[in-house]
Structure 1
Amino acid sequence: MTVDPRAALDRLIASLEAHYNAVAGRQSEDDPAVDDAYDILADAFEVYDEALGTAHGEALPFYLAEEDDDEDDEDDEWGPEGDDSYGDGADVEDLAGEARSS
């Protein structure tokens, strides 16, 4: 089934709006409405990306990251403790400072 890219774009935009409204109206930290809106948005993004590729041979400049089932992964970009480290002891502010001074 081929999806019209314009219809897929309209659905993506509506999904972005719905996600924003769910986040802005969040009732609790674990509000299922936010999770549902996230899933719908992710699906709309994938449908639009595929429709754009099929119809026009183009791709979006970003992609959805695969969900990592192992939140305690030592190779996690944010480090094993969920801090700002990259696993090598340097935190984001240190790296930003190095970039400015180079």
Structure 2
Amino acid sequence: MTTDPRAALNALVAALERHLEAAAGRRGENDPVVVGAYRAVAEAFEEYDDALLDAFDEVTPLEVYRGDEDDDDEFDEPDDVEGGGSYTGMDDEDYDDLDDTEPARST
């Protein structure tokens, strides 16, 4: 584990950049390059958060989504990858506020 928060932050940014590249070049639902990049982001984030805690007694407001607590996998993959889930940024109650009559927007 990196104890220097700056070095851990740089590693996290690099992992995010590799994930973006992997996602942009994705080849199918279970692309192992994307899955590996996903796991690397999760690991780098946790190292950064731990380094912040060790150095400054501070943490980020984020956490790695792990899906079901009963799952034995170290990290879960997104919904389109076997065995995992993903966080949409909305809580269950946020979905209740959506207007069912409004057509879905395509992006």
Partner AA of 2:14 in structure 1: A
SS of match in other structure, 1:65 = coil
Question: Based on CA coordinates, which of the two structures has the bigger radius of gyration?
Answer: 1
Report how many aligned residue pairs link the two structures: 78
What is the TM-score when the length of structure 1 is the normalising length?
0.67
Asked if the contact 2:12/2:41 (under 8 Å) is kept, the reply is yes
The answer for the alignment partner of 1:77 in structure 2 is none
The answer to whether residue 46 in structure 2 is matched with residue 46 in structure 1 is: yes
In structure 2, distance between residues paired with 1:17 and 1:56: 26
Name whichever structure is richer in helix by fraction: 1
Give structure 2 stretches of 5+ with no counterpart.
72-78, 80-91, 100-107
The answer to whether residue 44 in structure 2 is matched with residue 31 in structure 1 is: no
SS of match in other structure, 2:36 = helix
Aligned residues: CA RMSD? 2.4
The answer for the alignment partner of 1:95 in structure 2 is 97
The answer for the alignment partner of 2:4 in structure 1 is 4
Specify which structure has the bigger relative contact order, considering alpha-carbon pairs within 8 angstroms and separated by 6 or more residues. 2
In structure 1, distance between residues paired with 2:94 and 2:5: 41
Distance 1:9 1:95, change over 3 A: same
